[in-house]
Amino acid sequence: MNTNKITLTAIFSLLILLCGRYTPAQEADWSSVADAASIASDHGDSALAQKLYKQAVDLQIKALGADNPAVAISLNNLAVFYQDLNMYPQAEQSYQKALAILKKDDSQKFSAALTLNNLAALYHDENKNDKAAPLYKQAIALWSALGAEQNANKATAVNGLADIYHAANQDDDAAPLYLQALMMWEHQGKSESTDAADAMFNLAEIYHARSNNMGAAPLYAHALAIWKNGSQLESAQALTAMSTLGEIYRAEGKYAEAEPLLEQALKTTEQKLGADHIDVAASLNSLAMLYYAESKYEAAEPLYKQALAIRENYLGKDDPAVVQTKQFYAALLRQEGRKSEAQKMESEAAGSGVARL
């Protein structure tokens, strides 16, 4: 997952000026080493980057003392580096050391909140949400105390906490938090970010599960627009949003809006997974249903055939999804006046059991 982490490099020099005594030569030493570590990391030389990050921390401790907030900043950034490499034990240790320093200085609420957020994100990456949730709450409380100017950062933690509740099916708790995060991002001019798109998608999923399609549809559409601008329409979330929004539009009779969404969902799913994948069958079935509603029977029939072949191959002839596809296909055949073919398909469906329509 590796999301919702924040490095503190941007305020590195400021905290040194405010929190510790040093010489320009000493700052140059650890700054140059930290810069070299960042460059090594960007070039994929993880071993060198790790060595240099540790060296920068050692130089700071020697110059400023082990409890200086500037050391905590470097520890936080070292932890982010570890986390990006999925080196979770090392990352957790560095975050914990950073927090131990920051909690000793009441003036470091901002840095403490950022590091709490990052450690919470680490635990969330590890599916340790029982540890992540209280840390997000602590970060939120600190940013609330610091004022509205911290709302962009606060939104990150609020969204992370919402993700935890959503994953646990506690959507009554998750939904208002997603709304809160989205409102804060909007006020900060960050409503078009990918983080905002993810929150929109998750909130749309909650609304859709509650049959609140009026609330879900604009969120799906906005998220898709953001992902399109970022060339991210091939993600699993984007595909789900396209399919679900297309189905919502179809149910509302908005066929012109539904068609490009369902066609794109099918095309992308086939490209990603292959034409015979079981997930492709669902996209084929959805698009066929739309074509049927539009009276495009010739376009719908081959889609039903392909969906049926895939589902029978994966699921067997008695699976409810197979029976459902046969029933829909039979309805199309009857509409075209092909009564004997329709009766045969209906008999096959009836002989297999009852579909969950």
Among candidate residues 267, 266, 303, the one with its CA nearest the CA of residue 285: 303
- Do 140 and 157 contact (CB within 8 A), yes or no? yes
Q: Which segments of 202-265 are extended strands (E)?
A: none
Which residue is listed with tokens 């000493």? 26
Among candidate residues 197, 138, 234, the one with its CA nearest the CA of residue 3: 197
- Do 332 and 304 contact (CB within 8 A), yes or no? yes
Please list the alpha-helical segments (H only) found in 188-293: 194-209, 213-229, 236-251, 255-273, 278-293
Residue 134 tokens, joined: 């209280």
Give the pLDDT score at 19: 41
* Dihedral (Cα; 328, 331, 333, 335), 10-degree rounding: -140
Interatomic CA distance for residues 184 and 60, integer angstroms: 36
Q: Which CATH architecture has domain 1-105?
A: Alpha Horseshoe (1.25)
Q: How far is CA 143 from CA 19, 97, 158, 333, in A?
A: 20, 21, 11, 62
Positions of the chain with pLDDT lower than 70, given as ranges: 1-28, 352-357
Give the pLDDT score at 258: 98
Give the pLDDT score at 350: 87
Residues near 129 by Cβ (< 8 Å), separated by ≥ 6? 123, 164, 167, 168
Give the pLDDT score at 10: 34
Phi, psi at 294, each rounded to 5°: -90, 5
